[in-house]
Chain A
Amino acid sequence: MNKIALAVAAAFAATAFTSPGAFAQDKTIKIAGFGAKSGVVRGFGINSEAALLAAADQINKAGGVKLADGSKGKFAVEFLDDRCTAEEGISVIRRIAGTDAVVAIGPTCSNVAEPLFGILQKKVDDKSDSGLQMPVFTDVAIKVGLAKISEWAFRNVPNEVTMYSSLFYWLKTKHPEMKTVFGGVEEDFAHSRATWYAVMKDRAATNGYAIAGETKWLLADTNFATQVREMKKANADIVAISAHPFSTCGVLKEMQRQGVKPKLLVGLTSTSTFETMQGCAKQAEGMIIPTSFAPVTKEGKAASDATAKFKGAADLHSMAAWENMFILKQVMESEKISGNPKDVQADRRKIRDGLAKLKITKGLMGETKRTDDREADKPYLFVQAKGGHWTVLHNPL
């Protein structure tokens, strides 16, 4: 009996000595996702969470993240709902900062991103600024120029100025007979409002279109009769709708009811999603949107399928969340984070510095350039609604 016990003990000892780390538990690298999982834009949060979980699963199955001491860390993702409100967004980021999450990915809404970036430290190492020191890598909130609010804020969202500039230029070349653009804007949502006034309207005019007018509605509106009447009266060649899927569908249905048929429909980049096809595929037929994602590459298709397994849809926003996970893995490895809970603040700083150093990242559609103000210049293409799907219309790059 003693001999058997001795043999078992020897076997354990041999295993322990021959393969150090065989019994060492993988470290957990906590990533905190957050965004809207309630309300009108809840679809974005649900899709982002699915993409984060799918990417983490893929990274973990491939071995995880290599840490400073040579061991491997496994990603653990927790996703918190901020209900697309500023107060809750701030509360959520404070909650995340109080945990051992090394980085936060989110938020969904630009009206949450603005205050949230505002409570972060504005300039790194500014001792007089008591702002929160937590790297935030945004996947969805897309309103132009938000990352410059804080040096702890980074975004992997498409550059709308470049995309719409390119779109209106292409349309002018392709359809020179079209001369006028009429705008419809979801006035109370930071992103859609800013995109119409600062991007679409300006880019259309720059490319030689006459602005025939504009009409406004609110995110939660359900009646668009007056706005569509204005649209009908203007009789423009192109109707550009800067609104999210919920109200875009409302407007498109009202346009159908009133028989408004512009020669061309242009939509907001955030509308090139599954929700639009679910809500109003028939009415959106022919709508053209510039987007930073379509499952046209092998990697894109794989990411889309993996996200579907976690009950999420792949679109330009959720796939940015997917990309963020892989970018973060690369940064964590290059910056050699320790993954120890006691070093969490040092690891956060390493991740911030690593993200700031990036000049180019690998995305699902190709290479993304990183700008000095911590924004992304992502590859893009134009998609068109056709037969209930978003199909690639043109790849300008």
Chain B
Amino acid sequence: MDFYFGLAQIIGVHTLLGLSAYIVLLTGQVSLAQAGFFAVGAYVAGMLTVLAGWAILPALAVSSLFGGAVACAVGFPALRVKGLMLVIATLAFGEAVRLFFFNFDYQVAKGGVKLGPVGGEGFRQIRYFPEHGWTTMEVMLFIWGFVILAMALLWWFDRSRYGAVLRAVGEDELAAQSVGINLTAVKVSAMTVGGMIAGLGGGIYAHYTTHIEHASFGILLATFALAYPILGGLESVFGTVVAVVFVQGLLVEGLRFLGDWRNLLFGALIVLAMNVRPKGFLDAPALLWIGRIFRGRRGAA
């Protein structure tokens, strides 16, 4: 059972990463910076629990705030550019963060052992969960508590005026601006919320893996962050979860028994999924269909 709880942990962490990109995508912006915010959160939370001896909750709160603050700072200059230029700008930021941690050394001697990040060799012994006796199931529930919170927040946004504004900017910036929407404020706020979610996810990731290094936060992770909401569909926050389950649960874990063939199928199945469901797994008709089923059941009850 531990294996499935462990898998649920991975799915939870990747869902947070996907949700961080989801809110930015709602405004029509394609950001490859999410892996950078994720890395910032991971290192900050790891350093707070290992080096400063903080408890996990305040450490995650600070990692989330750090992620948000960095995203806000990046958002102002980066969101002045659009489309492909923004992709390149955010990609450059992500790489800059990765290279920063590649060269970042900060070690403190604790109990005769030096702990902390050591550049390219990474940051080991982030063992808060096992050292405090948390079982795999408890860690999984802890992670999913945050996932549900993040999803609830984004679901609420989607149903609020703020969500309508985000989608309006995403649909047509010019039209949105013409009705008095402050584009910079909307985009930067979406980037900040996305950064906070990514920072939180990164903080959890560091404690889940117990060891982090720059290579874990490269372009591949940034691509996954974008792929989840696109593959899942931007109509609903639930699409991101469905996509993460598809990628991490089915393609990565479910097909492991296929050995070398898994890697070939991995790409092929993603291309196939995008062709069969070009607007994502949970597009508008799918959501309508699910809604009808639920309404039907409620009516019958």
Contacts and interface: CB of A to CB of B under 8 A. Distances in A.
B124 A118 contact: yes
A193 B130 CA distance: 29
Contacts of B263: 38, 83
B120 A86 contact: no
Interface stretch (B209-217, B237-245, B273-281, B286-294): B209-217
Nearest to A97: B2
B252 interface: yes
Nearest to A121: B130
A190 B130 contact: no
Q: How large is the interface on B (under 10, 10 to 19, 20 to 34, 35 or more residues)?
A: 35 or more
Interface in A113-135: 114-115, 118-119, 121-122, 127-132
A37 B259 contact: yes
Given A94-B3, A128-B133, A190-B213, 12 more contacts: A37-B260, A38-B260, A38-B263, A92-B256, A94-B136, A115-B211, A118-B127, A130-B129, A143-B121, A149-B125, A190-B121, A193-B121
A111 interface: yes
A188 B3 contact: no
| B2, B6, B134, B263: most-surrounded residue (chain A CB, <10 A) | B6
Interface in B27-72: none
Interface residues of A, number: 36
A122 B130 contact: yes
A21 B143 CA distance: 51
Nearest to A78: B257
A91 B10 contact: yes
Interface string A70-113: 00000000001101011110111011011000000000000100
Interface in B1-34: 1-3, 6-7, 10
Contact of B253 (A91, A111, A130): A91
Interface of A: 37-38, 80-81, 83, 85-88, 90-92, 94-95, 97-98, 111, 114-115, 118-119, 121-122, 127-132, 143, 149, 187-188, 190, 193-194
Nearest to B210: A118
Contacts of B133: 127-130
A85 B253 CA distance: 13
Contacts of B2: 94, 97-98, 132
A95 B134 CA distance: 19
A239 B214 CA distance: 27
Contacts of B215: 111, 188
A114 B124 CA distance: 7
B252 A130 contact: no
A303 B294 CA distance: 63
Contacts, number: 100
A80 B124 contact: no
12 contacts: A91-B6, A91-B7, A91-B10, A94-B2, A94-B136, A98-B1, A111-B215, A115-B124, A119-B130, A127-B133, A130-B136, A188-B214
Contacts of B125: 118, 149
B130 A114 contact: no
B234 interface: no
B210 A115 contact: yes
Contact of A193 (B120, B132, B136): B120
A37 B122 CA distance: 23
A190 B123 CA distance: 11
B259 A81 contact: yes
- Of listed A85, A91, A98, A194, residue having the most chain B CB within 10 A: A91
B146 interface: no
A143 B211 CA distance: 14
A120 to B, nearest CB: 8
A118 B114 CA distance: 15
A90 B130 contact: no
B17 to A, nearest CB: 12
B191 interface: no
A81 to B, nearest CB: 6
A355 B213 CA distance: 30
B143 to A, nearest CB: 14
B144 interface: no
A263 to B, nearest CB: 29
A240 B274 CA distance: 48
B91 interface: no
- 4 tightest A-B CB contacts, nearest first: A118-B210, A115-B211, A131-B130, A94-B6
